[in-house]
Amino acid sequence: MCFVDLLAKPHWSVFTQIRTKDHDTLPAVLTRQQVHDLLAHIRLRRYRTPLKLIYCCGLRLSECLGLTIHDIVGRENKLLIRNSKGHKDRVVPLPTSLYHELRRYWAFHRHPLLLFPNVGRGDHDPKSLAQRMHQATCPMPHCSLQRLLIIARKHLNIPAASVHSLRHSFATHLLEAGAHLHTIQKLLGHKQITSTMIYLHLTHQSTREALRLMDQLCRSLPR
């Protein structure tokens, strides 16, 4: 019996405006091998590098593509995430191998600000490509990475995966490796621990230990 019947108010429309979840759905999580295969399938470095960064540091897509060269503190193994969801800033450990990869990638286009500038349209020879990226006025569009990942996962017969699945997989793989849930909460930028609890497993590891685990996650990925 519904509320309308119980209250004997058949003409009330207020209940049609209420939306509640019948159940929580678990996020799509990839295995480490599936992550490796997806990234290996995306051959172009300008697309593989941001996707790899999203996985290795647990970033949201907008956080990754909005990064600037001032957000990389390589000597301290830090990545600064500014004005993220909820208008919060946070600091994420940056694996050493990935820091060097980002330096090599930036050396190709040398944009004065953006880490992942828009490629734009035109000739795809390296010189023309680098020039357009150097002169870009905006970051790479989100749809570029989203579309490529969907194509890759369909080719590899992976049933469900999106760019955000890389963030979910990062959290799950760290927890499986022994990272503390509160550390994962901090790395993901979750305001409430309940948002992080979907990934299960509680252990006791520091942020330094999380950095070691993150280095392990990205070390075997394609370069």
Q: What amino acid positions are annotated as catalytic residues?
A: 60, 85, 164, 167, 190, 199
d(CA 183, CA 8): 51
Per-residue pLDDT at 77 exceeds 60: yes
Give Cα separations from 72 to 43, 80, 112, 187 (angstroms): 24, 7, 14, 16
- Domain contains 9: no
Per-residue pLDDT at 89 exceeds 70: yes
What's the confidence (pLDDT) of residue 201?
A: 41
CATH number of the domain that residue 99 is part of: 1.10.443.10
User: Two tokens at 65?
Assistant: 């593509």
- Enclosing domain of residue 112: 26-219
Q: How many domains does the chain have?
A: 1
- Domain contains 87: yes
Task: Please spell the DSSP secondary structure of 63-93, one letter per residue.
Answer: HHHT-BGGGEEGGGTEEEE-S-TTS--EEEE
- Domain contains 37: yes
d(CA 80, CA 73): 8
- Domain contains 199: yes
What's the confidence (pLDDT) of residue 23?
A: 46
d(CA 39, CA 37): 6
What's the confidence (pLDDT) of residue 81?
A: 93
Residue pLDDT, tens place only, 28-47: 788 899 999 999 999 999 99
